[in-house]
């Protein structure tokens, strides 16, 4: 009798285990499962259109990076990597993916400056947006996404233009369709295939 109960218990346990594996398998592949605090955030894109983050992108896989356009070395590498990921995602025909680059220098990175930065790099805007906004809003969002941008000393050109740079987090963040952060990668030196695979996993 005891043996029968034991074997019945196992029979019940095996499908339960299988179901758990099915439902949590995807979640286990990602190191993060964080809600972005303080939302929603009212921002502007490169066309000065109003964007509410992350609400406007719920239901989409979001690949998000953090830049400032006066950065000539690291940030263009990140933008280039974002473009490469976008191209790969298109090639393997993964739909429902949105690419976002948030400026942590909103005082200088107005929508038109971001548009110019994108245009000169031939950005495909079909699912790619640059974001900026009020400094207080951007700073709060950066804090909730654990992105640091420290402004350095200001010098001036001969014409009196202020020149300053940031020491900053170098990151690309992957957000799932529910708006949760699922993985974080280095922005300037990143494994494109790894991110594309993670996007595929989230899309499955």
Partner 1 sequence: MTILLTILTLLNFHTPNLKVEGAWLRPAGKGMNSALYFEIVNNSNKPDTLYKVTSPAAELVQIHETFKTNGLMGMREVRFVVVKPHSTLTFQPGGYHVMFIKLKKDFKVNGKVNAVLYFKTNKEIKIKALVKRQ
Tokens of 184: 């974080």
Cα(79)–Cα(201) distance, rounded to whole angstroms? Answer: 23
Asked if residue 72 binds partner 1 (CB under 8 A), the reply is yes
Nearest CB to partner 1, comparing residues 170 and 176: 170
Asked if 163 contacts 151 with a C-beta cutoff of 8 angstroms, the reply is no
- List, in order, residues 6 or more apart from 195 with CB less than 8 Å away: 63, 85, 172, 174, 183, 185
> Could you give the 3-state DSSP secondary structure of residue 9?
helix
Asked if 126 contacts 137 with a C-beta cutoff of 8 angstroms, the reply is no
Tokens of 115: 């548009």
Asked if residue 159 binds partner 1 (CB under 8 A), the reply is yes
Of 81, 169, 173, 190, the one binding partner 1 (CB under 8 A) is: 169
Asked if residue 129 binds partner 1 (CB under 8 A), the reply is no
Nearest CB to partner 1, comparing residues 190 and 202: 190
Cα(173)–Cα(58) distance, rounded to whole angstroms? Answer: 15
Piece of 37-45, 64-72, 99-107, 173-181 that binds partner 1 (CB under 8 A): 64-72
Asked if residue 103 binds partner 1 (CB under 8 A), the reply is no
> Could you give the 3-state DSSP secondary structure of residue 38?
coil
Asked if residue 166 binds partner 1 (CB under 8 A), the reply is yes
Of 30, 40, 76, 137, the one binding partner 1 (CB under 8 A) is: 76
Of 70, 110, 127, 140, the one binding partner 1 (CB under 8 A) is: 70
Q: Restricting to residues 19-48, name those near partner 1 by CB under 8 A.
A: none
Asked if 41 contacts 141 with a C-beta cutoff of 8 angstroms, the reply is yes
Q: Residue 199 Cβ, how far from partner 1 at the closest point, in Å?
A: 23
Nearest CB to partner 1, comparing residues 58 and 189: 189
Cis preceding linkage at 54, omega within 30: yes
Instruction: Identify the bridge partners of residue 35 per DSSP, sorted by sequence position.
Output: 180
Nearest CB to partner 1, comparing residues 115 and 180: 115
Binding residues for partner 1 (CB under 8 A):
69-74, 76-77, 80, 113, 116-117, 119-122, 148, 150, 152, 157-159, 161, 163, 165-170, 188-189
């Amino acid at each position: 009798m005891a043996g029968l109960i034991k074997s019945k218990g196992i029979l019940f346990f095996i499908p339960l285990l299988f179901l758990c594996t099915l439902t949590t398998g995807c979640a286990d592949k990602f190191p993060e499962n964080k809600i972005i605090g303080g939302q929603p955030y009212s921002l502007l894109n490169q066309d000065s259109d109003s964007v509410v983050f992350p609400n406007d992108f719920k239901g989409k896989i979001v690949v998000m990076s953090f830049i400032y356009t006066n950065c000539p070395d690291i940030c263009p590498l990140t933008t280039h990597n974002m473009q490469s990921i976008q191209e790969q995602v298109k090639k393997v025909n993964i739909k429902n993916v949105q690419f976002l680059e948030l400026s942590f220098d909103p005082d200088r990175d107005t929508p038109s400056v971001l548009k110019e930065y994108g245009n000169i790099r031939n950005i495909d805007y079909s699912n790619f947006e640059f974001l900026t906004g009020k400094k207080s809003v951007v700073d709060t969002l950066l804090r909730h996404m654990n992105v640091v941008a420290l402004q350095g000393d200001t010098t001036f050109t001969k014409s009196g233009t202020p020149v300053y740079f940031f020491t900053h987090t170098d990151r690309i963040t992957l957000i799932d369709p529910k708006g949760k952060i699922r993985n974080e990668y280095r922005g300037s030196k990143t494994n494109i295939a790894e991110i594309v695979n993670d996007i595929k996993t989230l899309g499955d």
